[in-house]
Structure 1
Amino acid sequence: MKIDIMTLFPEMIEAVMRESIIGRAQEKGLVSVSATNIRDYALDKHHKADDAPYGGGRGQVMLAEPLFLCHEALCAGGQVHTVFLSAQGRPFDQAKARELLAREHVILVCGHYEGVDQRFIDACVDEEISIGDFVLTGGEIPAMAVADAVCRMVPGVLPDEEAFTAESHWAGLLEHPHYTRPENWRDRPVPDVLLSGHHANIEAWRREMSLRRTKQDRPDLFAHFIPRDKTDQKLLRRIEEDEQT
C-alpha cells in the first residue's frame, strides 16, 4: 500500500505517520506513507504556491501549476487514485476506507487557504472526501486520518484481521464496551459475564451490547442494520421488549 500526501507542511505529516503502529508498519515495509512539499514544484524563486482569487474576495487560492507538477511527478510509473480532502467531499467512512485499501497507490491532496484552483481538481482529482461537516485550517489532519484508517487494514499491520473487523463501523455497528483490571473500580464492577470464562455467553453479551449501543447512540446506522442470524433476531426482540417496559 503506497500513499503519497501532497502538502505545504510535510513535517506535520512525517511527525505523525512515522510513529506508533503506522510508523512500525513502514519500517517493516508493509506500507509507505510519504509527504511531498508542493512548494518544491513552484515556478518562482520564492516557492509561491498561492495567489489572490479571480473575482475578488478574501484569502488566497492555491495555484494549479505547482499542484499539477507535484501530482505529475508522483504519478510517474503506475496507476494512481487521487483524493482531494475537501469540505465539499463525500463523507469518509469505513466503507470508503475499504475501497481505498483496494488501490495500490493513492495520492491525498491537502488544500489550504481559501481553497484550490478548480482547474487542478478537474484535471487530476478522482474524488473529493470530507471527514465531517466542519472546516479545518488545512487538509493535513484529514489526510492523516484517511491514511491511518486505510493502512491499519493492510495485512500484517495489526496482529490479526479481527483487530479491525470486530471494531466499530466494520459491519455497520458500534463496538461493545471494554473493561480491564481492577474488577471493581470506584464501586463500578466489571459485568459478571466477562468474569465467567464462558466464551459463548461473553460473545452473546458483546453482540447485544453492540446492538444496544448502536441503536441508542447511532440510530442512523442502526436503521440500515440487517440481522445476520436467528441469534441477532432474538437479541433485537429482547432489546425492543426492554424498551417497552
Structure 2
Amino acid sequence: MKSNGVRAIITGVTGMVGEGVLLECLQHPEVEAVLIINRKPSGFSHPKLTEIVHADFYNFTPIQNRLVGYNACFFCLGVSSVGMNEKDYYRVTYTLTMHVATTLSQLNPDMTFCYVSGGGTDSTEKGRLMWARVKGKTENDLTKLPFRQVYNFRPGFLKPSEGMKNTNRYYHYIGWLYPMGRALFPALFCSLREMGQAMIKAVTKGYEKPVLEVRDIVELAKR
C-alpha cells in the first residue's frame, strides 16, 4: 500500500481535539485516507473515511490486520485527570497509549506518530503534578518506539472549528476570551485548525523539535 499521500489513523474523534483534527484531514488535499478507531460509532461519513468500532483499546490483536499500510497516527484520545487517582489515570493515559503505539510501530515502522499531550507536561517524570508526570513518561517512552518519527504536541487553550459536534461545554461560556487571550498570551492559545494543519505537516514536512509547544504548533501550521 505504498503512496506519497498521508494515510492517517486517528483516535479520539468523539472528543473535541480528535474531531477537530479529523475535519482538517478530511479537507486536506495531501491526506488521501483516514482510518478512525472508536469504541462506538462516530456518526462521521466521508469518501476518505474508514471506521473501525472496537471496544478494547488494550487489545488490538483482533483488528491489527486492518491497521497495516498507514504512515501517520494522530493520537487524540485522552481523559482529564480530575477526580482520578494515579493508578487509574496511568492505565488510561500511559498503558493504553503505549499498547496502541507499540502495535502500530510493529505494523507500520515508517509511520509518524503524533501524540496530543498537554501544556505543562513534565519531561523529568519527577514533578509534583501527577498528570504531568504520567504525560511526561508517555512522551518519553513513545520516542523510544521504532517509528520513523514521534512528535509530542502540547496545546494550551484550543479554539474549536466551525461546525463541530463535540465542542467541550466550557467553551460555550469562555470562548469569547479567545481573541483577547491569543493577542495577549500567544504562547497559550491556538486553534484546532492550526493543530490539525500542524499534525499533517509534521508528516509531510517534518519539524526540528520532537516536542511542540503552542508557538511551535502555530509556526508549523503556517509552513
Using the size of structure 2 for normalisation, the TM-score is 0.36
Using the size of structure 1 for normalisation, the TM-score is 0.33
In our comparison, the structure showing a higher alpha carbon Rg is: 1
